[in-house]
A and B are shown apart, each in its own frame.
Chain A
Amino acid sequence: MSRQELNSEVTGSVWQITAQPGQRLVPGDTVMVLESMKMEIPVLCEDGGTLVELLVAEGESVAEGQAVAVVVP
């Protein structure tokens, strides 16, 4: 099975993790919410799948393009 990384679209920090490893995600589900430019920016799982790993924790800084979670179809 191909692992797919979810990346942060923005530079900011992790405000809230909203899904846990093992959780089944439907396309468009939110995995975590980042704070950037005073906005709450969700990281979405566009294709759906199962969340297998979180690569960041709440409060951590993230860079644009950084992988923050891994899903498998």
Chain B
Amino acid sequence: MHESPTTARAANGDAAARAEAMRAEFEARRQRALAMGGPAKLARRREQGLLNARERIDRLFDPGTFIESGLFATSAAPEDRDRSPADGKIAGFGKVEGREAAVVANDFTVMGASSATTNARKMGHIKRVATQRGMPLVFLGESSGARMPDHMGSRGMGLQLGNDGAQYQRLRETPWASATLGLSYGSSSWYAVMSDFSVMRKGAVLAVSSALLASMAVGEEVDAQELGGWKLHAEVTGFADLVVDTDEEAVDAIRRFLAYLPSHRNEAPPVAAVPGGSGEAMRDILGLLPSSRTQVYDVRKIVRAIVDRDSFFELKARFGKVAVTGLARLGGRTVGIVANNPLSKGGALDTDACEKITSFLVLCDSFNIPLVMLVDTPGFVIGTEPERKRAPGRIMNFMNALSLVTVPKLSVVLRKSYGQAYLNMGGGRNSDEMAAWPTAEISFMDPQFAVKVVHGLSPGDEGFDAARASMDRASEVWDIASVYAAQTVVLPEHTRDYLIRMLDVHELRMTRGVGQHLMRAWPTSF
């Protein structure tokens, strides 16, 4: 049957009108969702110099690549539907330096970004997609915790909590990075401490629950910064890998962290171009090491000289300072650096440093990042205090983790390597290659104390000087090289070239750079 031209025109007009109406409703609903908690709350944030959740996402992803999931989601409680755009947690996918990543950004202007039924479903979806499709997951955290009164009562608990047995399971399939950008309680804190990288903005608070609730619980005023401020997490708990001053710096730090990492555990990290000028400082590197064995120095200067120019990204700089951990590149390849830092406590390893190194070994092994260890330690800190801090357990967790590492491990002894710490820092076949500078001294204990223990002599006693000189000679690098426990002696200025060549040699060719991830279920904090 033929349609008359008039009928067809009318139908077209009708379709155009319907499309127009559809677009208008879509656009109106979209705009309401994009308005977040409304202009007044957004203006207040701007005045405080803070970015809102959508601005943070814009900064995280390459321009134009963000695709949102759940823009039209709202609270499941009918009375809150109209005041809960995106249900307070904005989610989706975008690209970081051209590579796909997933994000959940808490929108504090919507019901304090509190956790509730709908946004828990969003979060679950984003986590599943990130894990199954192999991309990093980013949390931009700022949340008042569980939404009230939704969670109250046994019915509330039954409906809200515990409906996903894997919610807080971590098997390190893909990298997780989190930023704590304001008050952060409950799940926002849980995800921060479960992440592989956690950056905190000064002024933010990361804690189990609010200072108000804590004050009620202990019956005295609790200061929010003391409860969970940046100083606590940078220096005491070690939960903050990095502390920054602004939201912008925090988001930039996540982009930088992800640039060193593979998208998932079944690929090698990306390779970058080697910046011009890399290795230029090698010629003078010996000048960074004091000539006297009793003088200290900052090992980070040596690290920066060895790695590709400006590539050193230090993690937990203010925690467990006797050890330095960080990501860097050598010849364009991502490496994990573990170095003793004599500048702090002479480089003697304490329990905080053991935990810091252990968690870093887990990070590197889980994401196929070869390790480079720079050794200068007189040993573990001994005394009553470390024993009370469970030093033997910490030292053995560190040792166990090192033995479970399946990525290439290279170690270079710069100066001291004594006792059990010799093993923990890669000696005794605990690294794939151990090299030593001619300045290295390796023994069971410092010669000063060894003369007393072995010969019963103290400084000033007859024969002390001769015994000491003999001990010093026996600690020199040549003896350990002669029994092939050090695979080579390397001149300081050749260290960078040596490490780059050894990374070539030890490349995991059989598995395209992928390790076994034996520590994928290791605890995410300590």
Contacts and interface: CB of A to CB of B under 8 A. Distances in A.
B408 interface: no
B345 A38 contact: no
Interface residues of B, number: 16
Nearest to A33: B296
A40 B348 CA distance: 13
B294 A38 contact: yes
A36 B346 contact: yes
A37 B378 contact: yes
A54 interface: no
A39 B378 contact: yes
A9 B344 contact: yes
Interface in B65-120: none
A20 to B, nearest CB: 22
Interface in B324-382: 342-346, 348, 378
A38 B296 contact: no
Nearest to B342: A39
Nearest to B385: A64
B345 A9 contact: yes
B296 A41 contact: yes
Given A9-B345, A10-B345, A39 B385 contact: no
Interface string A35-55: 011111110101000000000
A37 B295 contact: no
Given A9-B345, A36-B345, A42-B343, 20 more contacts: A9-B321, A10-B346, A11-B383, A36-B346, A37-B346, A37-B348, A37-B378, A38-B294, A38-B446, A38-B448, A39-B294, A39-B295, A39-B296, A39-B378, A41-B296, A41-B344, A41-B345, A44-B343, A46-B318, A64-B385
Contacts, number: 32
Contact of A40 (B294, B385, B446, B448): B294
Nearest to B449: A38
Interface in A1-47: 9-11, 36-42, 44, 46
Contacts of A42: 296, 343
Contacts of B378: 37, 39
Interface string B466-490: 0000000000000000000000000
Nearest to B446: A38
A9 B381 CA distance: 12
Which among A39, A40, A42, A46 has the highest number of chain B CB atoms within 10 Å?
Answer: A39
Contacts of B295: 39-40
The 3 nearest A-B residue pairs measured at CB = A39-B346, A9-B345, A10-B345
Interface in B166-205: none
A18 to B, nearest CB: 14
A30 to B, nearest CB: 10
Contacts of B318: 46
Contacts of B346: 10, 36-37, 39, 41
B292 to A, nearest CB: 8
Interface size of A as a range: 10 to 19
A40 B342 CA distance: 10
B245 to A, nearest CB: 13
Contacts of A38: 294, 446, 448
Nearest to B416: A39
A28 to B, nearest CB: 8
A11 B383 CA distance: 10
Contacts of A64: 385
20 contacts: A9-B344, A9-B345, A10-B345, A10-B346, A11-B383, A36-B346, A37-B348, A37-B378, A38-B294, A38-B446, A38-B448, A39-B294, A39-B342, A39-B378, A40-B295, A41-B296, A41-B345, A41-B346, A42-B343, A44-B343
B185 to A, nearest CB: 26
Contacts of B345: 9-10, 36, 41
A22 to B, nearest CB: 26
Contacts of B446: 38
A64 B383 CA distance: 11
Q: Most chain-B Cβ atoms within 10 A of its Cβ — which of A9, A37, A44, A46?
A: A37
B376 to A, nearest CB: 11
A20 B296 CA distance: 22
Most buried by A among B296, B345, B383, B448: B345
B340 to A, nearest CB: 12
A66 to B, nearest CB: 13
A40 B296 contact: yes
A62 to B, nearest CB: 13
Interface in B434-461: 446, 448
Contacts of A11: 383
Contacts of A10: 345-346
Contacts of B342: 39
Highest count of chain B CB atoms <10 Å: which of A11, A36, A41, A46 = A41
A54 B378 CA distance: 29
Contacts of A46: 318
Contacts of B448: 38
A28 B346 CA distance: 16
A40 B295 CA distance: 5
A37 B293 CA distance: 12
A35 to B, nearest CB: 9
A67 B348 CA distance: 21
B417 to A, nearest CB: 15
A38 B295 CA distance: 9
